[in-house]
Structure 1
Amino acid sequence: MTKVEFVSAAAAKRAAIHRMVMPGHVCPWGLKAKHLLESNGYQVEDRHLTSRDEIDAFKAKHKVATTPQIFINGVRVGGYDDLKRFLGKAVRDPNGTTYVPVIALFAISALGALALSTSVFGTPFTIRAGEWFIGLSMIVLALLKLQDVEKFSAMFLNYDLLSQRWVPYASLYPLLEGVTGILMLSDRLIWLAAPVTLFIGLEGAISVFKAVYVDRRELKCACVGGSSNVPLGFISLTENLMMIVMAVWMGRMLVG
């Protein structure tokens, strides 16, 4: 590489970022943008906007609504998402559907169940690990729903048949799911947990099957809370089928 080529290459990797750094607030997107630039080999000129007047003046000058703003080789790229696009990184669509929350939930629940089995029995692969996985999954799913019961119940009412006939069931559902999950983990009151789990699992499976496979409706699933972008379908049905299987298994233990 010649000296001229080296200087050109270095210049191509220079960026300036204007970000909010105030006594009571440091913009997190500015920090993320700075880190992203540095991770991609850019020499970053970090320019702080330290007062509301300074921020407003910057926005007015560049005719932008938000900060941070990133400039590369003197040309404005835009904000954090614009920078990601410029660097060829994926940008999440806030309104797009995704299975990531459910995958993460089941993965963590599975690892937790395997860890418990290893601690108690010395091996991760036991029947008890399978029981713990379902119990932990139900508890985490209930926790996500209980973060905002109003949002969850509004989304749940879109497709749940029982809730549409008796609205309070939409708010009661996450409590039932959480309590039965706890009872599964504790091996207590199985005579109560088994029929309740079977009921909510069957009712939920019928509701999802009708909405998705009979009525062909495209809806978002309330399974991970009211702000979910998880599409209603196979994953939602799987949640209910897991509860049905666990209820039958608990019933078998009672009979035995």
Structure 2
Amino acid sequence: MTKEATLYRMVMPGHVCPYGLKAKYLLGKKGYKIDDRWLTTRAETDAFKAKHDVKTTPQTFIGGERIGGYDDLRRHFGLKVRDPGATSYRPVIALFVMTALMALATSYSAFGDPFTLRAAEWFISFSMVVLALLKLQDVDTFATMFLNYDLLAKRWVPYGYVYPFAEGLAGILMTAHALPWLSIPVALFIGIIGAVSVFKAVYIDKRELKCACVGGSSKVPLGFISLTENLAMIAMAVWMLRGLI
């Protein structure tokens, strides 16, 4: 028996609804024959919403029953629906996986071997640079979130605005092994303050906060990964200092 669905979605000269495309793809993936009905003007879209008493499009109907929008369609098929407010470690996991692969690739290109001490150094320095980049996308939002837990930023607000630049500078210099007299103190300073701040907020005060480590809109929980980021920065600085002695 052929499974059929009717899909109403916006397809206008200046806008094609992305969720409409996703709903169409999902229905096709589930083996449905789709009656794809386009809403080609704003007036037509508004009239459709008023008729069916809905606030959004696309809207899917199966067997004459309205299923709803894209998220409702996913629920109908028993699929997971993303909660925009939910905490997740995915951003930092993705970041560290990619910077690790970058470090291995760079080591292989430079030395013909991905598994070198320089690869480990590059992993940390690349991570510092990418983390700084994410913060620099919106420094003000980062600084605001940072004020929730960083001990120095609470005493001197401009530190929240300085931090991403300091982290990025230290990461770039450490990548190049340049100006260690500057990169090592900067990394030690921000790493130690960061580690103490996170440890106090999470393990002493038992506060449940979002980490500003990947930017001010982060849904990453403040905790072990945030502490590890700072400890890795300290370890990198100590390792480079050891090489100078």
Q: TM-score range by the shorter chain?
A: over 0.9
Q: Name the SS of the counterpart of 1:17 in structure 2.
A: strand
Q: Is 1:169–2:148 an aligned residue pair?
A: no
Task: After superposition, give the CA deviation of every residue in 1:148-172 in whole Å (9 maximum; x if it has no partner).
Answer: 1111111000000000000000011
Task: After superposition, give the CA deviation of every residue in 1:127-176 in whole Å (9 maximum; x if it has no partner).
Answer: 00001100110111001111111111110000000000000000110000
Residue matched to 1:73:
63
Residue matched to 2:206:
216
CA distance in 1, matches of 2:5, 2:104: 47
Q: Is 1:31–2:21 an aligned residue pair?
A: yes
Task: After superposition, give the CA deviation of every residue in 1:22-64 in whole Å (9 maximum; x if it has no partner).
Answer: 0001011111111111111111111100000000000000000
1:106-145 equivalent positions in 2, closer than 5 A: 106-145=96-135
* Contact 1:99–1:230 (8 Å) recurs in 2: yes
* 2:71 partner letter: D
Q: Is 1:82–2:72 an aligned residue pair?
A: yes
Kindly report the root-mean-square deviation, in angstroms, between the aligned alpha carbons of the 2 structures: 0.7
Q: Name the SS of the counterpart of 1:43 in structure 2.
A: strand
1:168-247 equivalent positions in 2, closer than 5 A: 168-247=158-237
* 1:186 partner letter: A
Residue matched to 2:30:
40
CA distance in 1, matches of 2:70, 2:142: 30
Q: Name the SS of the counterpart of 2:132 in structure 1.
A: helix
CA distance in 1, matches of 2:244, 2:5: 67
Residue matched to 1:3:
none
Scaled by the length of structure 2, the TM-score of the pair is: 0.99
CA distance in 1, matches of 2:216, 2:122: 25
* Contact 1:17–1:46 (8 Å) recurs in 2: yes
Q: Name the SS of the counterpart of 1:70 in structure 2.
A: strand
Query: Structure 1 residue 201: deviation in Å?
Result: 0.4
CA distance in 2, matches of 1:185, 1:41: 51
* Contact 1:205–1:241 (8 Å) recurs in 2: yes
Residue matched to 2:243:
253
Among 140, 148, 161, the alignment partner of 1:158 is 148
Count of residues in correspondence between the two structures:
245
Structure 1 unmatched ranges of 5 or more: 1-6
Q: Is 1:91–2:81 an aligned residue pair?
A: yes
* 2:236 partner letter: M
